[in-house]
Structure 1
Amino acid sequence: MAQGGLRGRIAGYYAAEYAASSAFNGFVTLFYAARGMDAGQVSLLMAAGPLVALFALPVTGALADRARRRALALCAVYGLCALSSLCFLPARGFWPLLCATALFSCFSTCVSPLGEALALSRLHAAGLGFGRLRMAGTVSYALGSLLLGAFLDRGIERFVPSVCALYALGGACSLLLASRAAQTPGGAKKRPPFLSLLRRRELRTLLLFALCLQAAQGVFYALYGLFMTQSLHGTRADVGLGALVGTLSEIPFLLFADRLLRRLGAPRLLLLSAAGMALRLLLTGLSRSPAAAIAAQALCVDGVIVCAFAMAQYVSLSVPQEQAASGQMLLYVFTYAAARALGSLLALGLTRLPSLGAALCACAVLPAALLLFARPLLRLPPLPTRR
């Protein structure tokens, strides 16, 4: 496949993936609140998906590594996401919502790591950069959040059909990768156990650092929508506008991401991400108007995207090619499943503070404290040697 064609296919896939992600991740807390859940119950529901992912991700990664065509497996997962999202329609009350969330999360949490493994393996094989193609997902997430926020202002009952339709679209777009995807190497080859990927000390250290960063982001996801609509009396469109500002602010980083990774290395990028995340949480929590909270999201330029990009590349270079899917699944076990579950439980505890703004400010302590570990982190190699 010509390089231009490969770029277009991967960019198109990322646009579809992040459109679906913007629908669920950006507005599910508002859906829970509309179904009568308070801030504590919302935090528990937000923890359910990551906890399910602790078991779903390793199993899916192992199966995907054995699949003859990983992109077709990805398409099937999207279809299961679309179908399982319909379980939210009749769910009312905490326990039905918990069951619907757990079922949906069995599949939805596997989408990003499967897509990342496939995209990165093909880009590395072709010698192409990742940052600018990943930017298609950023733009799609931004526009999706803005448009869906305005759409849901007319009625939150539109949430579930929107999620279902966008995940179905993601499945269709994953066929862009499936149509010419190469066979996975070594289909019958015996692979080392999933956790054997953790034998590299530097990889373990970076995964633990990223886990703590993403736990802070988990608190943000659990509380931001509620803070905007309940504490600041903003609208769902304001929540979408905040997501638009945050995701568009990632573009400057993504334009130069591959160059920055080569020049600075993953450890330095993670430290920059910690500083940016701490400042964004603090300024968001101190906001006294929706406009101020929206403006604070511009600090996403040096936030979670930096951590996610650096770690995805680091893991992809650390693991053998035949374990590409398992490598990304391992990353998501740490930085999504364990981290977001921890973040949601932290959010539950922080809701006991006098206000949601105070909870966000208190959460800023976590990424700020990680900066104390700068010296041992900077001793690690900037990038691993390709396995």
Structure 2
Amino acid sequence: MIWQFFLLELLIYVPRAFFSFVGNYFNALHFSDLQNGLLGSVAAITVLFSNPFWMRFADKRVKNNVLAFVSMASAVLIWGVYSFKSFLPVLIMTFAIGFVWTAILPLAESISIAQLNQRGFSFGKARMMGSIGFALAMIFFGYLKSDLVFFAIGSLAFLSIGLSALFIPKTHGYNVKKEKRKFSFKNLPGEFYIMLLLETLVISSGNFGLYFFPILMKARGESVSYAGIAIAVHALSEVPFLFFADRIVTKLGIKKILVMASFAYGIRWILTWSVTNPALVIAFQAFEFFNFIAVYYAIWHYVNLKIEPSHRSDAQAIFWVVTIGISAIFGYIVGGWVSNLFGVANGYLFFGVLSIITGIAYWIYEYSRSVRKLKMS
């Protein structure tokens, strides 16, 4: 039974690897860094409205069926991106596929965590397979020369997810056969939104860093295959964290993890900017042990344990809107703009400094908040 969710987690991160590497394909079509950043941000823009739509839609139904539909639709629509070679048609088709493929990860992981919690199994250990699948896909994409094969693999990955969704245990939404609750931001804790603000700024650096890695390697005269290896190191370094994720969250607490991850992100990108040796740059990506994966897991843990089930789908939708939406928009568009003006390497410096400043600001905010509580008591 558990192996089905291991397989699902492995599969759903292959499309994420595809869209992390598609910037290299757009670069080969001679789109500018800014155009490339805009294309990379399309999925992030569509997730602002597609994710709440699909999460609400699935919340009143069997989630497996919704996951199967969006996956099959993605398998077809991906060929629209490949069919056109000029910017505007590619932009339109990227919007079309973005509306469906961005729902896959939130839906699949909401199914996984619900089923695994029922069985007393750690979601973190299943999520490790996502990191492994992402890493293997990135290594393969780094060496792949054929655009046709690249898109065929993307389409096949979507198809496999759709088929897998039909064979895992049926998972109903949180509010099936219940009175429909209207969404309100007031239903969710204020500290949740502060965490999301930190996530927006810090995870944007990760979105920029991964998407522009093949372009950075090209700009430095290195093989694009180094980008695939570097991102694979990034993904595989998540595995040790995920193996001990629940213990780490219990030991350190969510807020300490967010501060530490912000600093680790900043150090990673500043080192990537300052050192040109590809072997060292690849090694620096092991900082991911406590970067995106730490921020992601800490806030995801908060959502699924601290927020009541009747409002959980809304919190999950907002979480994913920030994680693969707002933070990506900021990372791709601002990063593309900075790269156009100052060079892609300096984009890494910009986001490295931003991550450290964000971590300091969040630490000061939480410290002052705890002092006020102590005085009131």
Q: Under a length normalisation based on structure 1, what TM-score does the superposition of the two structures give?
A: 0.90
Alpha-carbon distance between aligned partners in 2 of 1:21 and 1:175, rounded to the nearest angstrom: 21
**Preserved CA contact (<8 Å) 1:149 1:239:** yes
Distance across 1 between alignment mates of 2:222 and 2:187: 44
Measure, in 2, the Cα distance between the counterparts of 1:333 and 1:318. Answer: 19
User: RMSD over aligned Cα, in angstroms?
Assistant: 1.9
Residue-by-residue CA offset, 1:128-160 (whole Å, 9 max, x unaligned): 21211110111111112112322x2x2234222
Deviations 1:220-274 (A, max 9, x none): 2342221012x12223322211111111111221111111112222111111211
Structure 2 counterpart of 1:20, from 15, 18, 24:
15
Q: Tell me, which stretches of 5 or more residues in structure 2 are unaligned?
A: 371-377
**1:120-159 map, 5 Å:** 120-150=113-143, 152=144, 154-159=145-150
C-alpha contact 1:282 1:364 (8 A) present in aligned 2? yes
Query: Which residue is equivalent to 2:73?
Result: 80
Q: Which amino acid aligns with 1:40?
A: L
* Correspondence for 2:217: 228
Per mean C-alpha deviation after superposition, the further-off stretch among 36-45 and 216-225 is 216-225
**Does 2:169 match 1:164?**
no
Partner of 2:373: none
Go from structure 1 to structure 2 and tell me whether the alpha carbon gap of 1:199 and 1:42 turns closer, same or farther (over 3 Å shift). same
Structure 1 residue matching 2:212: 3-state secondary structure = helix
**Equivalent residue of 2:30, what SS?**
coil
**Aligned residue for 2:83?**
90
Residue matched to 1:384: none
Q: CA deviation at 1:303?
A: 0.7
d(CA) in 1 for partners of 2:70, 2:126:
22
In 2, distance between residues paired with 1:216 and 1:365? 10
Alpha-carbon spacing, 1:285–1:157, altered in 2? closer, same or farther (3 Å): farther
In structure 2, distance between residues paired with 1:349 and 1:305: 26
For 2:248, the aligned partner's letter is L
Q: Spell out, residue by residue over 1:133-189, the C-alpha distance to the aligned partner (whole angstroms, 9 max, x if none).
A: 110111111112112322x2x223422212111111122222342xx2244454232
After TM superposition, the structure 1 = structure 2 runs for residues 193-212 of structure 1, keeping only pairs within 5 Å, are: 193-196=182-185, 199-212=188-201
Contact 2:71–2:104, Cα closer than 8 Å, also in 1: yes
Q: For residues 150 and 184 of structure 2, what CA distance do their matches in structure 1 show?
A: 37
CA distance in 1, matches of 2:174, 2:340: 51
Alignment check: 8 A CA contact 2:14 2:154 kept: no
The answer to whether the Cα contact below 8 Å between 1:117 and 1:316 also exists between their aligned partners in 2 is no
SS of alignment partner, residue 194 of structure 1 = coil
| Structure 2 counterpart of 1:267, one-letter code | K
Of 347-356 and 135-144, more deviation after overlay is shown by 347-356
- The number of equivalent residue pairs is 368
State the match for 1:385 in structure 2. none
How far apart are 1:103 and its partner, in Å? Answer: 0.9
1:300 and 2:291 are equivalent in the alignment: no
Report percent identity of matched pairs: 22
Residue 192 (structure 1) aligns with: 181
Work out the CA distance in 2 between the residues paired with 1:158 and 1:327: 37
Q: Distance in 1 between matches of 2:152 and 2:34?
A: 26
Paired amino acid for 2:329: A
Asked if structure 1 preserves the Cα contact closer than 8 Å seen for 2:70 and 2:104, the reply is yes
Per the TM alignment, residue 361 of structure 1 is displaced from its structure 2 partner at its CA by 0.9
**8 Å CA contact 1:11, 1:136 repeated in 2:** yes
Residue 287 of structure 1 pairs with residue 275 of structure 2:
yes
Q: Which of 182, 199, 217 is 2:206 aligned to?
A: 217
1:42 maps to 2:31: no
> Secondary structure of 2:322's partner?
helix
Cα distance, 1:352 vs structure 2: 3.7
